[in-house]
Amino acid sequence: MESSTALTSQQLEDLQLFLKDWLRHTGRTQADLRRALRATSIRMPVLLEALRQIHAQQGLGGLAEHLCQIESLWRSEEADPAREAVATTPRGVADPLDQLDLLLDEIRGAAEDEDGEA
């Protein structure tokens, strides 16, 4: 289902203001939103473009549903800290880059433990 109307510049500006308030209210960052959207950058124009594409494909209702799924994911991560260790998208697919970060942290921790024993 495609939206027949694109977001206007005023709507994009309103969306940007909403995102900034939403992130501040939820204690999240643009990096958190980037991971959830699987965007290529944390820069606001890139995040807005990802959301604009969702709107173009799914309409305003789809965009709102996607943002609600992201917030639901974030709330479930807050309720279950162990789940936050494996960052997922709203569809529940693990982000491989986040898993690599966790593995790198484990390797660094193991290397520090070995250095401390030597």
> What is the tens place of the pLDDT at every residue in 29-75?
999 999 999 999 999 999 999 999 999 999 999 999 999 999 999 99
Cα angle: 87, vertex 92, 93; to 5 degrees: 70
Q: How many CA atoms lie within 13 A of 96 on its CB side?
A: 0
Judge whether 2 lies within some domain.
no
Mean pLDDT of 79-93: 54
Residue 40, pLDDT score: 93
Per-residue pLDDT band for 9 (boundaries 50, 70, 90) equals very high
> Is the model's pLDDT at 97 over the cut of 90?
no
Judge whether 88 lies within some domain.
yes
Judge whether 4 lies within some domain.
no
CA distances from 90 to 25, 53, 93 (A): 19, 16, 8
CA distance 95 to 23: 20
109 against 64, higher pLDDT = 64
**Total structural domains in the chain?**
1
Residue 80, pLDDT score: 72
Mapped onto helix, strand or coil, the DSSP state of residue 17 is helix
Residue 91, pLDDT score: 46
Judge whether 58 lies within some domain.
yes
Range of the domain at 99: 9-117
